[in-house]
A and B are shown apart, each in its own frame.
Chain A
Amino acid sequence: MLKMTRLHILWAGVLLLLVGCAGNQRLQTRLMSDADTNICNVAVLPFENWTQKSELTLLAGRMFASQLIQSKAFNTVQEGDVGMFLLRQRLLPGNLLYKEHYAALENQLDIDAVIQGRIVEAGSYSQRGGRRIPLLSLYIDMYDARSGKLLLNSVHQRRGDEYRKVMHFGVVTTNSGLIEKMSREIINDWFSKGVTCR
């Protein structure tokens, strides 16, 4: 009887481990059926922030752009060029872009796609020992710069302790670290769906 119980506990442990490592269920990328996935030049617009944590706006935009450059899969337009474009067009972060804006973006920055991101949820919770674990939800849209049509949409949510390896190792305790990891996961998901420069 005791032997059976131990076996059950062992199986339950294995099952928990498998569920824990069962992949990233909260990352969903929806690709439009007619999307042209050959994307080489991209511009990242300033992120929109739907949360109370205003400091995350620039942080998220810079971290995501940094991951795009690090991926070496796209030519990312420099942030200053995007900033100057928005200034000339008198556009604020989160402003709706019209067809003429996309046409001007494509013409002036020579891009294939425009990335618009927003932080939809940001928070943290305490763990034992007073450790704060961040929690974030990101929403990323990619638009075709030629037509202004939506190419893909990614929704991702993560907590810092989801990256735990053993004991405290691997736990992400910073917002920037969490955005960095989430951005990398989103970009890798795009690659797996064939979104890359060919």
Chain B
Amino acid sequence: MLPCRILNKSAAIGFGCLLFLLFVVGNAAAQKIVLMPMADLSKGENGINLGFTKAVETSLKQLGVELVSRSDVKLFMARNKVRTYRYLDSYLVKKIGAEFEVPLVVIGTIAELQEEEPTIGITFTALDTTDGAPVWAASVATSAQEQVRMLGIGEPKTVIELVRPLLKETLQPLVKLAYQAEASESRDYQLLGFHLSPGYVQGGQVVGANLKVKFLGQRPTLIAAESEAGKSYLQYDRQTDSYVGEWFAPRENGTYKVDLRFEWGRERTVERITSVASFEVINRPPGLTMEIKKGVKIGQRLAFRDHLLILPRLDNLRPMAGWALEIKRADGEPEVYEEHEGDLPERMVWEGRGSDGAKLANGVYDLTLEVWDLAGNRSSDSQRVVLQSSTPKVKGRITYSGGKAHLNLAAGGLFEFPLTSWQADLRSMKGQLLTRGEGKQLPAQLEFTPIAGEIEAYLSVSGEDLLGNRLRITRQKIRLVEVDEQVEEQKVKSWVPDF
């Protein structure tokens, strides 16, 4: 170990980025170190400056430090896909240490570089290959403007000229470290991912595990996933280079933390990593209720003419996997089906339209809202509603009896609630009032005396139903001969927002 570390409580264990030191065995001191190619931020995040790397190598060699060859280092970088030092973690540093038997890895970064007006900023960090931790750092930042010489004699013209005298001075402490340091043999591992699927289950369902882990050196004899549900050994899958296994979830509700257990060698030395992942057993359905607002209670029935506000309520607040809303006619014919992933919205509005956006006919509809949680527990609630977005149609018919003419008015078309009030008048072609009447119920009959010679008359009807839908028919032609005539309601142009 290098001398300048502060060791406190658990830091001494050397736990870093899920890297675990298992065996650290010191061997003979080695002065050889690895200098990674200099990162050059002026060329972008992944930039490398080989010219400067050479300058640093020269300075280190002049200081008496032996270096691993650059080609070997580059080969290591290519094999291990090291493109940026941002992800050169402790595991890789230890791997470098094990592969080249070096105690130190030096990473240099050119933080700032300007060739035209020589300017440079460099940082160096030395990492201990025993635990991958940084043990030394230095930085240099200067420019030609800061290095003004007397009468301009010997002023640096290039960045290399500018920085070379400073490099030796900066890197000097590294020599001492390289002499003091010891290479170590370590057996470590890097946990790349431990995935449980599904993460939410019902009691008794199967939980699958997939472990991606890299080992420095020998792999453990056995790897197990351990939780309150028991211990389950994971099998190595050569195709995916991962360890897989599965077990049955316990019956009881709760969160179950999963530990990893590595068993090494014949003695089955056990190394345990606690709480690497967890799964949750949920047996209770979400407890859904649906409250419907903006409707009118008529007897036992909930009716509406314009829109309904659907307010879903859950008895517990946990993330939901999805929900579906189904609207069917009373005869079971589906009109709307909406299915979505994720949590339920706080509110929904139904404007009495079908899946195609067209207004549905008056009638009885069943609304069913279903929700399911991540464990697959389902809960649903249904309510029957009555849609009446238009008044009943009014049928007018002229009959004759006893020398008198009668206007017969009757309700027609699809409707659930009749008109609660109506007014009608019948006028001759010249506008003379033939008859007028009003009432609260249909059918109704109005007596009148037709004008001789006229075969048609104008009928006007207005009315309103229980839900407030209004009927208005003006000057509709009606034949005075004895035939059935259905009076068409005049469409009212209106804008209604989409569902």
Contacts and interface: CB of A to CB of B under 8 A. Distances in A.
B121 A174 contact: yes
B139 A176 contact: yes
A14 interface: no
A95 to B, nearest CB: 15
Interface in A40-75: 40-41, 46, 55, 58-59, 62-63, 65-67, 69-70, 72-75
A174 B142 contact: yes
B21 to A, nearest CB: 12
A40 B6 contact: yes
B445 interface: no
Nearest to A168: B148
Interface in B76-101: 85-90, 92-93
Interface stretch (B9-17, B311-319, B324-332): B9-17
B16 A78 contact: yes
Contacts of B132: 78, 80-81
Contacts of B419: none
Nearest to B275: A107
A5 to B, nearest CB: 35
A97 interface: no
Contact of A176 (B6, B13, B19, B141): B141
Contact-size category for A: 35 or more
A107 B137 CA distance: 26
A171 B141 CA distance: 12
Interface string B130-172: 0011111111011101101000000000000000000000000
B16 A110 contact: yes
Which label, helix, strand, loop or mixed, suits the secondary structure of the A interface?
A: helix
B125 interface: yes
A102 B55 CA distance: 41
Contacts of A78: 16-17, 88-90, 93, 127, 132-134
A197 interface: yes
Contact of A173 (B88, B109, B119, B139): B119
Interface in A173-198: 173-178, 180, 197
Contact of A75 (B6, B87, B93, B127): B6
Given A75-B5, A177-B141, A63 B111 contact: yes
A88 B123 CA distance: 27
Interface in B11-54: 11, 13, 15-19, 41-42, 45
A41 B42 CA distance: 30
Contacts of A83: 86-87, 89
B85 A79 contact: yes
Interface size of B as a range? 35 or more
Contact of B138 (A66, A80, A176): A66
A136 interface: no
A77 interface: yes
A48 B148 CA distance: 34
A172 interface: yes
A28 interface: no
A184 to B, nearest CB: 10
Contact of B88 (A59, A65, A80, A131): A80
B100 to A, nearest CB: 17
A155 interface: no
15 contacts: A40-B11, A55-B42, A59-B41, A62-B111, A69-B136, A74-B6, A78-B93, A78-B133, A78-B134, A79-B88, A173-B143, A175-B121, A176-B123, A177-B143, A180-B141
Interface of B: 4-6, 8-11, 13, 15-19, 41-42, 45, 85-90, 92-93, 109, 111-112, 119-125, 127, 132-139, 141-143, 145-146, 148, 193, 275
Closest CB pairs A-B (n = 7): A176-B121, A177-B141, A81-B17, A69-B137, A80-B89, A176-B141, A80-B88
